[in-house]
């Protein structure tokens, strides 16, 4: 008769034989960071206005054609982008569209160092612009 230790050892040997990791091919991670075309440094957004952010789509990788984006408002200060993650400007829009339209909050802070950051799989910040 087999002892419990013998049965456990045999079971462990079978388990190890079937669960040994096989070599896998490395997976290439693809980060695409589109160039934001607008807003520009000459742009001013009145609070409560409807605005459109645009970005280049001429180099969208095939793997990103169905990706959706997130657009956040922020401002540059103290070496930080100070992004307002609680109040996105736009969410779940197709990256391939090259633009998204939204309404600037009537409570947005008046400032000359505003930025927008477009997230798909990577974040890309606009140049500074003004909110008036």
Q: For the chain, list the domains and their CATH numbers.
A: 36-131 (2.60.40)
- Contact criterion met (CB below 8 Å) for 117 and 125: yes
Q: What integer pLDDT is reported at residue 55 of this predicted model?
A: 95
* β 44-45/111-119 pair status: unpaired
Per-residue pLDDT tens digits of the chain, which is 132 residues long:
556 666 656 666 655 666 555 565 655 555 677 899 999 999 999 999 999 999 999 888 888 888 899 999 999 999 999 999 999 999 999 999 999 999 999 999 999 999 999 987 667 889 999 999
Q: What integer pLDDT is reported at residue 24 of this predicted model?
A: 58
Q: What integer pLDDT is reported at residue 89 of this predicted model?
A: 98
- Residue 127 token pair: 């140049």
């Amino acid at each position: 008769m087999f002892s419990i230790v013998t049965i456990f050892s045999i079971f462990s040997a079978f388990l190890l034989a079937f669960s040994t990791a096989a070599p896998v091919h490395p997976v290439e991670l693809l980060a695409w960071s589109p160039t934001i075309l607008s807003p520009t440094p000459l742009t001013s957004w009145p609070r409560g206005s409807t605005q459109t952010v645009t970005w280049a789509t001429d180099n969208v990788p095939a793997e990103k054609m169905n990706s959706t984006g997130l657009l956040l408002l922020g401002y540059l200060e103290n070496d930080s982008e100070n992004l307002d993650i609680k109040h996105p400007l736009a969410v779940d829009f197709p990256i391939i569209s090259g633009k998204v339209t939204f309404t600037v909050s009537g409570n947005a802070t008046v400032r000359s160092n505003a930025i927008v950051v477009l997230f798909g799989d990577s974040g890309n910040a606009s140049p500074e612009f003004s909110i008036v």
